[in-house]
């Protein structure tokens, strides 16, 4: 592998959700293999601005694999070829000289395109607003620590809480399902004593909100689990289904 790469980029350009988009070709010369993927896009935008052209709009924030804002599909894979990694942590050394890289936004009706590679993921915020919280007063840290939590449940809850809400699960799913995201939020609260009193109402409200937003149904193909940068497990969806069935029966 050379220290400098020449690349052909095919990037989705679209002014807004109401206009037709297309893949536009860009040639990049002398890209350092030490660059991150987003630094490579920064370099492209600097070149475009120097020529008086519109830079490519893409979302980012922490660039540390924490916030999940860097929502890009790279060569057909959400967050790129590395497993358990967000695209901001993807480095150009993963590519070969003269590679063609196709860069697209998340594809989902519930994630309308704002511009170019930026999508509106506020549907996730509305799902959280529907029930992804605990209203009970938990007190200060010493009070909370006085409530015993079994180690297995605590670990499962923490694993589910690792979800950063990036939407890669939706982008990976053939039905654009948000079940992995919703199940992670239901699990990380429902497994803890503080979250159990509202567990039934929570799962019913969040699933209803998910359906209202237009996300598809889960068909257990596991694509969401494979592409999740935090490696959230499919077992959370099974737990969500059990919680939903029990809550639905109790509601009757």
**Among the three residues 77, 94, 115, which one is the final residue of a domain in this structure?**
115
Q: Which residues pair with 26 in a beta bridge?
A: 9
Please determine, for residue 34, whether its predicted confidence score (pLDDT) is greater than 60: yes
Query: Which of 115, 145, 174 corresponds to the end of one domain?
Result: 115
Average pLDDT, the chain: 94
Q: What is the pLDDT of residues 207-232, one digit of tens each?
A: 999 999 999 999 999 999 999 999 99
Q: Dump pLDDT digits (tens) for 75-99.
A: 999 999 999 999 999 999 999 999 9
pLDDT confidence of residue 2: 58
- Kindly state the percentage of the chain with pLDDT values over 90: 90
Domain enclosing residue 16, as ranges = 4-115
The C-alpha atoms of residue 221 and residue 138 are separated, in whole angstroms, by: 38
pLDDT, position 142: 66
Residues 127 and 236 reside in one and the same domain: yes
Does 129 share its domain with 110?
A: no
CATH code for the domain in which residue 233 is found: 1.10.1060.10
Q: How confident is the model at residue 252 (pLDDT cuts 50, 70, 90)?
A: low
Structurally, how many domains does the chain consist of?
Answer: 2
100 and 177 housed in the same domain: no
- How many CB atoms within 10 Å of residue 210? 22
For the chain, what is the largest distance between any 2 Cα atoms, rounded to a whole number of angstroms?
65
Of 73, 98, 115, the residue at which a domain comes to its end is 115
pLDDT over 60 (residue 1) = no
Query: Do 110 and 149 have their domain in common?
Result: no
| Contact assessment for residue 74 and residue 221, using Cβ atoms and an 8 Å cutoff | no
**What is the predicted pLDDT for the residue at 148?**
84
130 and 246 both lie in a single domain: yes
What is the DSSP-derived secondary structure letter of residue 86? -
Q: Give residue 147's pLDDT.
A: 79
- Report the pLDDT value the prediction gives residue 194, as an integer from 0 to 100: 86
- The string of pLDDT tens digits covering residues 58-75 is 999 999 999 999 999 999
With pLDDT > 70 as the criterion, what percentage of the chain qualifies?
A: 96
Asked if 22 and 10 count as a contact pair (C-beta separation under 8 A), the reply is: no
Residue 136 pLDDT: 76
- Indicate the pTM of the whole model: 0.93
Q: Are residues 141 and 107 in the same domain?
A: no
User: What pLDDT does residue 72 have?
Assistant: 97
Greater pLDDT, 233 or 17: 233
Residues 19 and 48 in one domain: yes
Q: Are 202 and 195 in contact (CB under 8 A)?
A: yes
Give 128-177 pLDDT, tens digit per residue: 999 999 987 766 766 766 778 899 999 999 999 999 999 999 999 999 99
Inform me whether the pLDDT recorded for 205 exceeds 70. Answer: yes
Domain co-membership, 88 together with 132: no
The DSSP code sequence of 111-147 is S-EEETTEE--HHHHHHHHHH-S--S---SHHHHHTS
Query: Which CATH number belongs to the domain containing residue 98 in this structure?
Result: 3.10.20.30
């Amino acid at each position: 592998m050379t220290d400098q790469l020449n690349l052909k980029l095919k990037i989705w350009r679209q002014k807004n959700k109401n206009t037709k988009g297309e893949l536009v070709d860009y040639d990049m010369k002398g890209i350092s293999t030490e660059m991150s993927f987003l630094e490579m896009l920064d370099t492209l935008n600097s070149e475009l601005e120097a020529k008086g052209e519109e830079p490519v709009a893409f979302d980012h924030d922490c660039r540390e694999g924490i916030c999940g804002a860097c929502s890009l599909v790279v060569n057909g894979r959400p967050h790129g070829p590395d497993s358990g990694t967000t695209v901001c942590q993807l480095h150009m050394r993963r590519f070969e000289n003269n590679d063609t890289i196709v860069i697209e936004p998340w594809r989902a009706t519930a994630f309308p395109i704002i511009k170019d590679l930026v999508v509106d993921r506020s549907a996730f915020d509305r799902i959280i607003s529907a029930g992804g919280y605990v209203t009970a007063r938990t007190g200060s840290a010493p009070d909370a620590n006085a409530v015993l939590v079994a180690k297995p449940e605590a670990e499962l809850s923490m694993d589910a809480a690792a979800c950063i809400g990036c939407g890669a699960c939706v982008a990976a799913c053939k039905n654009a399902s948000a079940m992995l995201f919703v199940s992670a939020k239901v699990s990380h609260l429902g497994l803890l004593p503080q979250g159990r009193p509202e567990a039934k109402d929570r799962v019913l409200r969040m699933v209803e909100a998910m359906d209202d937003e237009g996300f598809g149904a889960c068909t257990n193909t596991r694509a969401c689990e494979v592409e999740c940068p935090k490696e959230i497990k499919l077992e959370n969806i099974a737990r969500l289904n059990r919680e939903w069935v029990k809550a639905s029966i109790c509601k009757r």
